[in-house]
Amino acid sequence: MPAIDPALIPNALRPIIDALCATSIDLSRVIARGPLAGKLGAGVGENSDGDQQKALDVMADEMFEAALRGTGVRYYASEEQEDVVTLDDDGGYALATDPLDGSSNIDVNVTIGTIFSIFEAADNGEASFLRKSSDQIAAGYIAYGPQTLLAMTFGDGTQLYVLDPERCEFVLVEARMTLPEAAKEFSINASNRRHWTPPILAYVEECERGRDGAKGKDMNFRWVGSLVAETHRILTRGGTFLYPADARPNYENGRLRMVYEVGPMAFLVEQAGGKATDGMDPILSLTAEALHERRPFVFGSAEEVERIAALHG
C-beta nearest to ligand F6P: residue: 227
**How far are the Cα atoms of 25, 208, 259, 308 from residue 201, in angstroms, in the given order?**
41, 10, 27, 10
Q: Classify residue 86 by its DSSP letter.
A: E
**Sign (positive or negative) of CA dihedral 112, 54, 86, 28:** negative
Q: Where are the alpha helices (DSSP H) in the chain?
A: 14-33, 55-68, 125-129, 198-209, 227-237, 263-271, 302-311
226 contributes a contact to ligand F6P by CB under 6 A? yes
Alpha-carbon distance of 221 to 211, in angstroms, equals 14
Determine the residue type at 297.
F
Task: Supply the minimum distance, in Å, between the C-beta of residue 83 and ligand F6P.
Answer: 19
Closest CB to ligand F6P among residues 121, 256: 256
CA angle 116, 307, 181 (to 5 degrees): 60
Using the rule CB under 6 A, is 293 a contact of ligand F6P? no
Give the one residue of 54, 74, 255, 275 binding ligand F6P; rule: CB under 6 A.
255
**Residue 60 CB, nearest approach to ligand F6P (Å):** 14
User: Going by DSSP bridges, is the β-strand pair 43-46/169-174 parallel, antiparallel, or unpaired?
Assistant: unpaired
CA dist 75 and 84 (Å) reads: 6
Taking the complex as a whole, the smallest distance from the CB of residue 156 to ligand F6P amounts, in Å, to 27
Report whether 130 contacts 290 (CB < 8 A).
yes
Site for ligand F6P in 163-192 (CB under 6 A): 189
User: Judged by CB, which is closer to ligand F6P: 51, or 164?
Assistant: 51
Decide: is 287 part of the binding site for ligand F6P (CB under 6 A): no
Angle at 138 between CA 32 and CA 52, to 5 degrees: 45
Residue 88: CB minimum distance to ligand F6P, A:
28
275 in contact with ligand F6P (CB under 6 A): no
* Residue with smaller CB distance to ligand F6P, 80 or 101: 101
Q: Minimum distance between the CB of residue 227 and ligand F6P, rounded to whole angstroms?
A: 3
The smaller minimum CB distance to ligand F6P, of residues 121 and 304, is found at: 304
Rg of the chain over CA atoms, in angstroms? 19
Is residue 234 within 8 A of residue 274, CB to CB? The reply is yes
Q: Among residues 106, 227, 234, 286, which is the contact residue for ligand F6P, using CB under 6 A?
A: 227
Instruction: Select 99 or 125, whichever has its Cβ closest to ligand F6P.
Output: 99
Answer yes or no whether residue 225 interacts with ligand F6P by CB under 6 A. yes
CB of 32 to ligand F6P, least distance (A): 20
Rule CB under 6 A: say whether 101 interacts with ligand F6P. Answer: yes
Query: Which lies closer to ligand F6P via its Cβ, residue 102 or residue 274?
Result: 102
Q: Which residues bind ligand F6P (CB under 6 A)?
A: 101-102, 104, 189, 225-227, 255-256
